[in-house]
Amino acid sequence: MKTLLLGMGNPILCDDAVGVRLAHDFKRELEGIRELDIVEDCSVGGLNLLDILTGYERVVVLDSIRTTEGVPGEWYYFTAGSLRETLHLTNLHDANFATAMELGRAAGMPLPLSKNIHIFAVEAKENRTFSEQMTPELENAYCRYAPGILGEIRKLLQA
């Protein structure tokens, strides 16, 4: 199954960089896996994502998320079928992720099924402040959440 691992985020927006960092670190671990492409740094959303996702049967997205009661460093897994909007998978000036995928499919673009879009989102503390460093909370928890996410990705890739 042709798969894309996609690191979402902005490397100069504090905790928003977590998806990019995870993709960068996982690239070393996952290089050489057949049918796997890795894009470490993606900061587009909405309709712009369609060009990136076209032609893949499965996508693994790494991103940050802010929930009302989440603890920085907690991570969540869901598929696009039960998508909770994240900062990058939606855009105030563009279509949200689900709408963009629907439009792309209606236009005949070869896009992965929603059940084959796997999203791993790490709870961020601060994702709107310019900084090349993640908050201490996310940085200190990295050694706990990164291996767990990588393990789940390995399982997905074996399926």
User: How would you write 64-107 as a 3-class SS string?
Assistant: EECCCCCCCCCEEEEEHHHCCCCCCCCCCCCCCHHHHHHHHHHC
Range of the domain at 138: 3-158
pLDDT at 94 over 80: no
> pTM of the predicted model, to two decimals?
0.89
Listing DSSP states for 17-45 in one string gives GHHHHHHHHHHHHHTT-TTEEEEEEE---
More reliable by pLDDT, 98 or 109? 109
- For residue 31 the two structure tokens come to 């290089």
CATH classification at residue 51: 3.40.50.1450
Asked if residues 121 and 80 have their Cβ atoms less than 8 Å apart, the reply is no
- pLDDT tens for 33-68 read 999 999 999 888 888 889 999 999 999 999 999 898
| Total number of domains in the chain | 1
